[in-house]
Amino acid sequence: MSAKGKHRRPKQHRIARRLAFAGTGGAALALPLIGATTAGAAVTQPAVAPATTALARPAAQPAAQPAAENAALSLTYSVVGGDTLSKIAADHSVSGGWQTLYAANRSAIGADPSVIRPGLTLRLGAAAKAAAAKATAVTAAAVKPAATYANNLDGWIRESLDIMARHGIPGSYNGIHRNVMRESSGNPLAINNWDSNAAAGIPSKGLLQVIDPTFRAYHVPGTAMDSYDPVANITAACNYAAARYGSIDNVNGAY
């Protein structure tokens, strides 16, 4: 019996056989077996963790794309039948309500905010806010404090020139001043009671000696309906001179 025992192959340890198998079949099969029986091997081989981390990163990216696309789409809205600015502003939580929405889209809507046609594209959200801010800035720039003018000939001429500029009426300070001094010497209450106009019952009046029919015909909106008012008189006379002579600057005598 002892002789036979010398020729028997010694038993390999169970773990050793598994390790040998791992060497021929690949580490991917060996590691789970070692992990199940040897605690030290499991701790030193955290092979699964990097793969899990790598998979988690691309999975989060597609979720962000629809949010960005929805944000971009929410900046505009196409009007449908039955819509009103109030309804659209409420439905889309437009800050400032329909007034902000109208300010942002006034050029497209027109002068009446109660009339919006189906198919009209309105700007909402950030675009509406930017447009409204721009509209507010333009309005603020357009509304300037009222200019103050001295209550004398210089101030009357300057105020008339500003009104004339808004109405496209030509004329210069020197042209007005020269004619005023010839016609009335700067007296806004001057009246001619002796010429043919006076004889006809329509005497020339004011700084530029304008008869009432001419004053009424060439009166400029925004000025007083009084031919003795210095600014109204100058502006109406310059409007008449522009129609007949091209400009008050071209008048150098009776006109």
Residue 76 DSSP SS3: strand
In our burial notation (b when 16+ CB lie closer than 10 A, e otherwise), range 233-254 reads bbbbbbbbbbeeeeebbebeee
Q: What is the pLDDT of residues 152-188, one digit of tens each?
A: 999 999 999 999 999 999 999 999 999 999 999 999 9
What's the average model confidence in pLDDT over 54-81? 58
Q: In whole angstroms, how far apart are CA 143 and each of 47, 106, 136?
A: 72, 18, 11
pTM above 0.85, yes or no: no
CA 173 to chain centre: 38
Stronger pLDDT, 180 or 32, i.e. the higher one: 180
| Degrees, nearest 5: CA angle 112-116-117 | 135
Q: What are phi and psi of 127, to 5 degrees?
A: -65, -40
Contact between 41 and 31 under an 8 Å Cβ cutoff? The reply is yes
- Residue 132: pLDDT band (50, 70, 90) is low
Q: What are phi and psi of 146, to 5 degrees?
A: -60, 130
Average pLDDT over the chain, rounded to an integer: 77
Q: Kindly state the percentage of the chain with pLDDT values over 70.
A: 63
What's the average model confidence in pLDDT over 65-89? 72
Q: Among the ranges 117-121, 129-133, 160-164, which has the highest mean pLDDT value?
A: 160-164
Q: What is the pLDDT of residues 213-254, one digit of tens each?
A: 999 999 999 999 999 999 999 999 999 999 999 999 999 988
| Degrees, nearest 5: CA angle 180-182-185 | 65
